[in-house]
Structures are given as structure tokens and as C-alpha cells.
Amino acid sequence: MADEEITTQETYKEAPATEEEKLKAEKAPAKKAVKKATSSDSLIDQIKNMNVLELTQLVQAIEKEFGVTAIS
């Protein structure tokens, strides 16, 4: 009898979400992916518009921040 109660409770927890919740869940990951692509594109556009001095300063800042060197 106790097993039946647990099964009933588990079935209740696994009940499907409302249509509104399903739509939110479906749309949420797509928005995150779009934001990620947008921020990457934005960053690339900013780098494209930098002059040589700004790029040198960026490389130096990255080297300092992450403790690496960019050797060519």
C-alpha cells in the first residue's frame, strides 16, 4: 500500500507542464543561443574596428589577465 502511494506521487510529479510553461521552455534555450552569437559577433566587430595600438593593448591585457604570452 505504501508502494502505491509513492507511485501515485511520482506520477503526479511527472505530469506534463502547462502549454505556457512548455512554450517558455522551448523559447528560452533559443534566446540564450542568440545572445551568445550576438555577443560573439559584437566582440568580433569591435576587434575589426581596432587600430594596431588598441590591438597591442588588448593582447597585453589578455596576457596579463590569464598569465599567458602570445608568441608568434
- Cell numbers 593593448 label which residue? 57
Query: Whole-angstrom Cα distance, residue 25 to residue 20?
Result: 9
At 6-33, the pLDDT tens digits run 544 444 444 556 777 766 666 665 555 5
In terms of pLDDT, which residue wins out, 1 or 25? 25
- Closest of 38, 42, 41 to residue 30, by C-alpha: 38
**For the chain, how many structural domains are there in total?**
1
66, 60 in Cβ contact below 8 A? no
Q: Give the chain's count of helices (H) and strands (E).
A: 3, 0
Whole-number percent of the chain with pLDDT over 90: 38
Per the structure, the complete domain to which residue 37 belongs is given by 18-72
* Contacts within 8 Å (CB) and 24+ apart, 64-72: none
2 falls within a domain: no
Query: Across all residues in the chain, what is the average pLDDT?
Result: 74
Q: Is 66 part of a structural domain of the chain?
A: yes
